[in-house]
Amino acid sequence: MHQDIPKQFLTVNEKPVIVYTLEAFQSHAEVDSIAVVCIDGWEPVLRAYVKQFNISKLQYVVPGGKNGQDSIRNGVFELEKHYKPDDIVLIHDAIRPMVSAEIISDCIAKTKRYGSAIATIPCAEAMMQTEDGEVSTGSYPRSQLRRTQTPQGFPLGKICDLHRRALEAGITNSVASCTLMIEMGEQVYFSAGSEKNIKLTTVEDIDIFKALLESKRSDWLKE
């Protein structure tokens, strides 16, 4: 985003992005506790926001790693010290502040039923293949693709074991928990996502987030 502070700490409508995200899990009845894997040096800022906005379920602040896989491993290994292997953990991007209660509930339910759950949405656009990012000579059937989001749910023991096996296999920079599962020969199951469950990656995404916060669906639109 080319800003002076990490994007999860940017303020939108007088509230930091990460607080919107934390509030979604704070208010969910099936979520017992929250852990945040935090960028080095930003822990005092996080704790101040947590106190200001009454995020009482935050119990663990864990040091971040050198990449996403390293950070997630730090987080789940910390949780392993406090919870049982069959307890459910949801791994979520701090910069997905519009996650709904329905998405969280479905991720929990599908994880309990299948042993994993990746929030996904259908791929609506035509998907083109390219080698150089400039020209394409082929396409990929969008019906065979899903766009992944978070949360991504697993039994705690399963995701910890996955990270240990990945270290032994020399896999250290997988893009996400779902891709790490695939790289380690596992299958993943889908749970419900949403087009509104956006990831704040660019400045334009902040504009969309602001619009979503202010939007109200027209009464005449069918579900």
Nearest to 98 by CA among 200, 15, 28, 178: 200
Average pLDDT, stretch 101-126?
Answer: 97
- Distance between CA atoms of residues 151 and 78, nearest Å: 18
- Distance between CA atoms of residues 46 and 94, nearest Å: 12
pLDDT in tens, 144-170: 999 999 999 999 999 999 999 999 999
Classify residue 78 by burial, with Cβ atoms within 10 Å: 0-12, 13-18, 19+.
Answer: middle
Band (219; pLDDT cuts 50, 70, 90): low
- Distance between CA atoms of residues 98 and 212, nearest Å: 8
To 5 degrees, how large is the angle CA 97–CA 100–CA 104? 105
Average pLDDT, stretch 102-116?
Answer: 98
Q: How many residues does the chain have?
A: 223
Within a 10 A sphere around the Cβ of 110, how many other Cβ atoms? 19
C-alpha torsion angle, residues 128, 171, 149, 17 (rounded to 10): -120
Average pLDDT, stretch 187-199?
Answer: 97
Q: How remote is the C-alpha of 82 from its chain's centroid? A: 22
pLDDT in tens, 10-59: 999 999 999 999 999 999 999 999 999 999 999 999 999 999 999 999 99
Band (77; pLDDT cuts 50, 70, 90): very high
**β-strand partners of 10:** none
- Give pTM, 2 decimals: 0.94
Question: Quick check: 216 pLDDT over 70?
Answer: no
Backbone angles phi, psi at 51, to 5 degrees: -70, -45
